Amino acid sequence: PKKNVSWFPQKYKAAQTVFNIDKKCQKISPDGKAKIQLQLLLHTGESTTFHFANGSTALKDRDATKELLQQLLPKFKKKANKELEEKNRMLQEDPVLFQLYKDLVVSQVISAEEFWANRLSLNTVEHSLSNNNKQEVGISAAFLADIRPQTDGCNGLRYNLTSDIIESIFRTYPTVKQKYAENIPHNMTEKEFWTRFFQSHYFHRDRISTGQQDIFSECAKQDEKGLKSMVTQGVKNPMVDLLSLEDKSLDEGYGTATVPTTSNSSNKSLRENSNSAIIKRFNHHSAMVLAAGLRKAEAPSDQASETSSTDGNSRDSDFFQPPLKKVKLQESIEYDDLQGDSGRQTIALNLKKSDRYSHGPIPLQSQHYTTSQDIINSISIIQHEMRNYKPRLTQVMSSNAASSAITALSPGGLLMQGGGQQTINQLVPTDVQSELKHLYTAAGELLRHFWSCFPVNTPFLEEKVVKMKSNLERFQVTKLRPFQEKIQQQYLSTNLTGHLEEMLQAAYSKFQVWQTRRMMRKT
Amino acid sequence: MKLNIDGLLVYFPYDYIYPEQYSYMLELKRTLDAKGHGVLEMPSGTGKTISLLSLIVAYQKAYPLEVTKLVYCSRTVPEIEKVVEELRKLMDYYTKQTEAKNDFLALALSSRKNLCIHPEVSALRFGKEVDGKCHSLTASYIRAQHHSNPSQPVCQFYEEFDAVGRQVPIPPGIYNLDDLKDFGRRKGWCPYFLARYAILHANIVVYSYHYLLDPKIADLVSKELAKKSVVVFDEAHNIDNVCIDSMSVNITRRTLDRCQTNVETLQNTISRIKETDAAKLREEYSRLVEGLKEANVARETDMYLSNPVLPDEILQEAVPGSIRTAEHFVGFMKRFLEYLKARLRIHHVVQESAPQFLKDIYEKVCIDRKPLRFCAERLRSLLRTLEIADIADFSAITLISHFATLVSTYSKGFTIIIEPFEDRTPTIANPVLHFSCMDPSIAIKPVFGRFQSVIITSGTLSPLDIYPRILDFRPVTVASFTMTLARTCLCPLIVGRGNDQVAMTSKFETREDFAVIRNYGNLLLEMSAIVPDGIVAFFTSYIYMENIVASWYEQGILENIQRNKLIFIETQDAAETSMALEKYQEACENGRGAILLSVARGKVSEGIDFVHHYGRAVIMFGVPYVYTQSRILKARLEYLRDQFQIRENDFLTFDAMRHAAQCVGRAIRGKTDYGLMIFADKRYARADKRGKLPRWIQEHLTDGSLNLTIDETVQLGKHFLRQMAQPFRQEDQLGLSLLTLEQLQSEDMLQKIAQIAQQA
């Protein structure tokens, strides 16, 4: 096992640095005991006992160590657990890996650590990648509400901001983030920034913007602009477009509906104005929250994100309109229960080149066409040659060789084995096949470990390559041999393991070469 | 499947059928057989449209001489397009089954804005602009000028259509708006005029109400439709208001000011023409003397609004001498205008009848009734003679002339109300003259008279007997169909109290009560926690919603709601609301969930469906009474009482309940859909309100759900939603609310079906 606890006796005190602790728990000796000891129980079941020997301070040291370890323990426990969980998850999710694990670790060809050493690092990369693709945590629509102002007793208000809330504010209102970037830290402190934020009308949605010196008035204006552009952009779905709903182009003045009052702000009271401002803000806020949630997801689809970042509207305008309209119309007249079960809705396979799909990949051939003239010519040439054919009796084969060549070339013959490939899966029983498959994956894994050591340029790799070679040998003895014997017992004539052995031989010879070269260098 | 509806072979383009659809078709068939009118109520989402189309198309095919045309009127553009798509489905089924080539021509017609393909004109945003620009390129005199002066721009698409489009009939098929545009682009023809022309020989026409109900437009578009047509008004629950709207006029001071400029422009144009082309005016004059009502032969492209009064009211005689010359007419208009200006300069409300108005105008400025009646015609003729290109500019004077003609034509059914200011803002002078129609039967009368069958249908027409009364016609069938359900997918609940037992109501006296507003807020908050995806909440009016939202905001209720769902709110700006609506759907779509606060009688409540997860609950805050203090409404109520013996309260409740039903009905759009319908007002529990809800909602209102507290509502709602969330398969419905052909033919099923239709 790895050295998890490094122990440095330094100066008079024992100070310790803990790198990575893979331990379950610690035990200390009872206070009254003569020996002052600290025992670490590791996950692997081993335990290490430290004996504190520096006399008078021993007890103190031990306690300090204990304290420190106590603090660190839960942290690493979590990490260890996480690793275990991760390993467990990987094994559960990947049956091939699980089989490999069984073949190699359980049967003790290689140790668990060796098995994971290569995998986990590979995995953390993968994992972090998949983490990125994971769903973003959305933004609560009520994040502003979570900032509950509390009175601080002397006519002031306290707002509690968490980093989550700040993140939410920034994601929902990019303009605020921009302001933040502009002003912090050269213009004002962070605290001042947020104080102003809460003071500004921007936070209080019902107030009508007045102050010009307010740094957020610009944000409000931009929001306004964003909202306007959203509105003018119109909607994509024609079914919800209220503007084109009615089919009447009469002038105003007809009808009983109250005449649209010249709805200028002059006509409205202040209260009404603030009310409609609230409504507008709510719509805008919800749209921004929604867009903030979608923005991340859409980020890779390059062009769309540009518009989304500023105005909360996440798509370019009516580029896709006609088909969308058709789809929505069809959707709205669909009665799925009246329809007979005309089969489930399937997703159409989207093929760029359908001929490729139906033919599969074909080897690239040099484009050599023969015209019919060519063919006719060649036929006439052959005919011509045949007419003038004279056997050269001096170079004739012996009849034995000829007949053996014929048998080799006839079906079932030695040279016609290529045609037998189809039959091999009929010849070999399935359990043998699956076992062979497992052997292949296991061998592949081991070989991968082996070959990954080259070029061997560190002592660690040297050590590893030797170990891997012995692993390979062990594999050959414990796994491959029994399998070969089993095949022989089942009198399967075909050489199934030939290729495996070849691969192993290739590895051995490589190892041989490397070893002799190393010996030579040493001497 | 192929159905036998009372001896008629009906092709129905689905493998299964709802029992109520069968029943609906039976009633419809009877109506057509009797060549009479019908009122049919069937819940939305039960395939009303396809039933209608299947039966009428079958009828047309079977008796091509009895029914020559189907005129299908719907309210919104999306609705129109939906109908055409359903029709396409039906026709595809016909071709597949009969393997005969389709010989039906069906098309949608809409305004120029939706049909224009001219690159510059169609780029304009508003319908009015498109109309005006189109007119300036296609008017008959413009085209005449183009002949002598080729640099005068004209619309190539129209020229092309005019040259060849009429000789070659449009091939049979189903043409939606986009198909017409495609066809037009391919041929280089104007789709709008093509459609206008094609409706004359089409088998099926789908367009908006206005093309039939508004005399100004109907005269241009639908004049020549055959008498043997079947007319269907779908979504007809508001048809009376459409009728009234089409005959009413409002005049503000701004209208008069604009009219003033119009008059001046006319005057200048006349004097200019007099110098250059006096013959033209003389010719107009002599034609008017000869009694030709219209001095020039109207071309289809000369898009002046037609006479605002109904055809049978238009005088068939020569224009009176006092307004025959152009100058006299302009002088006449000036006098009329001055009179109106004087009338608007008042400080108190005036209400008078049309005869009173005529008497007053005669006494004050000596204007007779007769020339007033000819005002609209005379102006039309003048505008045409003067070759005014931009008619959109002349909308004000057109409006005034329409008012003149209407007020002098109808002595009954109309009222004039002059208000010096708005009720809400008594300090700001904003005088308006309302000339308002109170009798919806006036506008629709010619439709009933002219066409052999008129079907009025909707999801909410209850109480059924009121429509024949206010529209003044004798239907042969009046029926309401319920929705057969395999599971109760709608859950109407009446919440009458908050948890503090304070009554919840939007009654005028208590609506601003702190406790009521808070309880409404709590209801929404609680529902936002238990209902998945979308919730739509309707308020009784826009102002009320604004107030409530503001106080919810102050009380922190909205913040708490935001923890559960995003909030979107309808505004008075349609573009803004569309945006909010789309975001709302987006939020429902991505699982975040949202609440839409909206207004009954608003555009959202009338035109937008909230299918499936877009609306899992609808909350109706209060009873959506119309603003009862309005004088126009009061006059109308009075008229209804005197003329039709409909009591004020009955009508008000009926009107409120149909809007409430419309609102809550938005959530259920089919049998696989489900949703809560929450009526948040204790007054809904009363029998007179409840009884006016459509039958298909009433049926599911149990006694136990009449006066709930918020807590009880949450409990019931939770239970309902949990049940509904279980998988619902086709097998569950089969035999109950969904039938195969065999099941339909069984004896006891036919008996059951007979009970679905309830005759009023």
Of B134, B140, B233, the residue nearest B191 (C-alpha): B134
Task: Quote the CA–CA distance of A24 and A78 in Å, as a whole number.
Answer: 11
CA of A313 to nearest chain B CA: how many angstroms apart? 9
Nearest to A283 among B128, B396, B569 (CB): B569
Both tokens assigned to A93 = 């999710």
- Taking the C-alpha atoms of B292, B293, B294 and B295 in order, what is their torsion angle to the nearest 10 degrees? 40
Strand B675-680 with B490-497, pairing: parallel
Of A460, A471, A458, the residue nearest A507 (C-alpha): A471
Amino acid at A315: R
Structural Rg of chain A based on CA atoms? 39
Strand B204-208 with B229-233, pairing: unpaired
Of B442, B483, B431, B404, the residue nearest B672 (C-alpha): B483
Task: Quote the CA–CA distance of B369 and A163 in Å, as a whole number.
Answer: 77
Nearest to B255 among A245, A253, A333 (CB): A253
Both tokens assigned to B607 = 């035109």
Q: Domains of chain B: which residue ranges?
A: 1-104+203-236+452-487+733-759, 247-438, 490-727
- Judge: B585–A338 Cβ closer than 8 Å, yes or no: no
List the single best residue of B419, B578, B589, B608 to mutate versus A (max A Cβ within 10 A). B578
User: What are the chain B neighbours of A248 within 8 Å (beta carbons)?
Assistant: 111, 127, 208, 210
CB of B566 within 8 A of CB of A284? Answer: no
Task: Quote the CA–CA distance of A318 and A302 in Å, as a whole number.
Answer: 18
CB of B295 within 8 A of CB of B385? Answer: yes
CB of B681 within 8 A of CB of B621? Answer: yes
DSSP designation for B301: T
- Judge: B574–A339 Cβ closer than 8 Å, yes or no: no
Residue in chain B closest to A255 (alpha carbons) equals B245
**What pLDDT is attached to residue A323?**
74
- Judge: A339–B16 Cβ closer than 8 Å, yes or no: yes
Section B301-313 average pLDDT: 71
Strand B757-759 with B475-481, pairing: antiparallel
CB of B336 within 8 A of CB of B329? Answer: no
- Taking the C-alpha atoms of B306, B308, B312 and B317 in order, what is their torsion angle to the nearest 10 degrees? -70
Both tokens assigned to A20 = 């990575």
Q: Which runs of E-coded beta strand occur in A53-209?
A: 150-151, 157-158
User: What are the chain A neighbours of B126 within 8 Å (beta carbons)?
Assistant: 249
Signed CA dihedral, B255, B256, B257, B262: sign only: positive
Beta carbons within 8 Å of B497's beta carbon, 6+ residues apart: B503, B504, B519, B682, B707, B708, B709, B710
- Judge: A337–B573 Cβ closer than 8 Å, yes or no: no
* pLDDT one-digit tens code per residue, B56-102: 999 999 999 999 999 999 988 999 999 999 999 999 999 999 888 88
Both tokens assigned to B613 = 């997860």
pTM of the model as a whole: 0.74
Both tokens assigned to A87 = 């390993």
Peptide bond into B440 cis (omega under 30): no
Nearest to B76 among A245, A274, A286 (CB): A245
User: What are the chain A neighbours of B567 within 8 Å (beta carbons)?
Assistant: 141, 282, 286
CA of residue B538 relative to chain centroid, distance: 20
CA distances for B89 relative to A478, B84, B736, angstroms:
70, 9, 25
Section B527-548 average pLDDT: 93
User: What are the chain B neighbours of A329 within 8 Å (beta carbons)?
Assistant: 78, 81-82, 85
Both tokens assigned to B296 = 């020039």
3-state secondary structure of A79: helix
Strand B37-41 with B475-481, pairing: parallel
End-to-end alpha carbon distance in chain B: 30
pLDDT for B715 beyond 70: yes
Residue in chain A closest to B402 (alpha carbons) equals A254
User: What are the chain A neighbours of B422 within 8 Å (beta carbons)?
Assistant: 261
CA of A105 to nearest chain B CA: how many angstroms apart? 45
Residue in chain A closest to B424 (alpha carbons) equals A268
- Count of pairs with CB atoms under 8 A, one residue in A, one in B: 231
Number of other CB atoms surrounding residue A11 within 10 Å: 7
Residue A514: enclosing H or E segment and its boundaries? helix A498-522
- Judge: B553–A339 Cβ closer than 8 Å, yes or no: no
Nearest to A339 among B15, B562, B587 (CB): B15
CA of A300 to nearest chain B CA: how many angstroms apart? 19
- Judge: B80–A247 Cβ closer than 8 Å, yes or no: yes
**Any idea which residue has 């198909």 for tokens?**
B179
Both tokens assigned to A140 = 């609560």
CA distances for B289 relative to B327, B329, B333, angstroms:
15, 14, 20
**pLDDT by 10s per residue, chain A, length 523:** 333 454 444 333 333 434 344 455 566 666 666 666 767 666 556 666 767 666 667 777 777 777 777 776 666 666 667 777 878 887 887 777 787 787 777 777 777 777 777 665 555 544 544 555 556 677 777 777 777 677 666 777 777 777 788 888 888 888 888 888 888 777 788 888 887 777 776 666 555 555 555 677 777 778 788 888 888 887 888 788 888 788 776 667 787 665 444 444 445 566 677 788 888 888 888 888 888 877 655 444 433 333 333 344 434 334 445 577 888 888 888 887 887 665 556 667 777 766 666 665 555 555 566 778 888 899 999 998 888 887 776 677 778 888 888 888 877 777 766 554 555 667 777 888 888 888 888 888 888 888 888 888 888 888 888 888 888 888 888 888 888 888 888 766 667 788 888 888 888 998 898 888 888 887 7
Task: Quote the CA–CA distance of A359 and A512 in Å, as a whole number.
Answer: 45
Of B679, B660, B535, the residue nearest B594 (C-alpha): B535
Section B443-455 average pLDDT: 92
List the single best residue of A172, A286, A311, A315 to mutate versus B (max B Cβ within 10 A). A286
User: What are the chain A neighbours of B117 within 8 Å (beta carbons)?
Assistant: none
pLDDT for B501 beyond 60: yes
**Any idea which residue has 């209407």 for tokens?**
B406
CB of B611 within 8 A of CB of B80? Answer: no
Both tokens assigned to B657 = 């309940």
Task: Quote the CA–CA distance of A46 and A314 in Å, as a whole number.
Answer: 58
User: What are the chain B neighbours of A205 within 8 Å (beta carbons)?
Assistant: 553
A376: phi then psi, degrees, rounded to nearest 5: -60, -40
- Judge: A206–B553 Cβ closer than 8 Å, yes or no: yes
pLDDT for B534 beyond 90: yes
Residue in chain B closest to A228 (alpha carbons) equals B576
Of B70, B54, B759, B67, the residue nearest B477 (C-alpha): B759
Nearest to B579 among A231, A257, A279 (CB): A231
- Judge: A255–B248 Cβ closer than 8 Å, yes or no: yes
**What pLDDT is attached to residue B549?**
92
pLDDT for B183 beyond 90: yes
User: What are the chain B neighbours of A247 within 8 Å (beta carbons)?
Assistant: 76-77, 80, 110-111, 114, 207-208, 210
* pLDDT one-digit tens code per residue, B356-368: 999 999 999 999 9
ipTM: 0.86
- Judge: B579–A263 Cβ closer than 8 Å, yes or no: no
One-character DSSP codes across A465-478 = HHHHHHHHHHHIII
Task: Quote the CA–CA distance of B378 and B371 in Å, as a whole number.
Answer: 9
DSSP designation for B703: G
CB of B607 within 8 A of CB of A243? Answer: no
Q: Where in chain A is the domain with CATH 2.30.29.30?
A: 4-78
User: What are the chain B neighbours of A249 within 8 Å (beta carbons)?
Assistant: 111-113, 126-128, 130-131
Nearest to B251 among A144, A253, A293 (CB): A253
Section B447-471 average pLDDT: 91
Nearest to A247 among B77, B252, B582 (CB): B77
**B490-727: CATH superfamily:** P-loop containing nucleotide triphosphate hydrolases (3.40.50.300)
SS (H, E, C) A251-286: CECECCCCCCCCCCHHHCCHHHHHHHHHHHHHHHHH
CA distances for B650 relative to B240, B463, B655, angstroms:
16, 10, 8
**Any idea which residue has 């922190």 for tokens?**
B556
Task: Quote the CA–CA distance of B117 and B182 in Å, as a whole number.
Answer: 9
Query: Which region among A203-217, A457-471, B38-52, B372-386 has the lowest average model confidence (pLDDT)?
Result: A203-217
Q: What is the mean pLDDT of chain B?
A: 89
Task: Quote the CA–CA distance of A113 and A125 in Å, as a whole number.
Answer: 18
- pLDDT above 70: percentage of residues in chain B: 98
CA distances for B325 relative to B110, B338, B369, B396, B684, angstroms:
37, 20, 18, 21, 62
DSSP designation for B684: G
CA of residue B521 relative to chain centroid, distance: 33
CA of A201 to nearest chain B CA: how many angstroms apart? 15
3-state secondary structure of A178: helix
Residue in chain B closest to A263 (alpha carbons) equals B572
User: What are the chain B neighbours of A203 within 8 Å (beta carbons)?
Assistant: none
Provide the angle, in degrees to the nearest 10, between the axes of the packed helices A302-311 and A270-298: 160
Percentages helix, strand, coil for chain A (3-state, rounded to 5) are 60, 5, 35
Section B519-528 average pLDDT: 95
User: What are the chain B neighbours of A237 within 8 Å (beta carbons)?
Assistant: 582, 585
**What pLDDT is attached to residue A355?**
66
Backbone torsion region of residue B339, taken as left when φ is above 0, otherwise alpha when ψ lies between -120 and 50, otherwise beta? alpha
Q: Which CATH architecture has domain A4-78?
A: Roll (2.30)
Nearest to B670 among A279, A294, A335 (CB): A335
CA of A299 to nearest chain B CA: how many angstroms apart? 17
Of B593, B482, B537, B530, the residue nearest B724 (C-alpha): B530
B1-104+203-236+452-487+733-759 classified as CATH 3.40.50.300: yes
User: What are the chain A neighbours of B671 within 8 Å (beta carbons)?
Assistant: 337
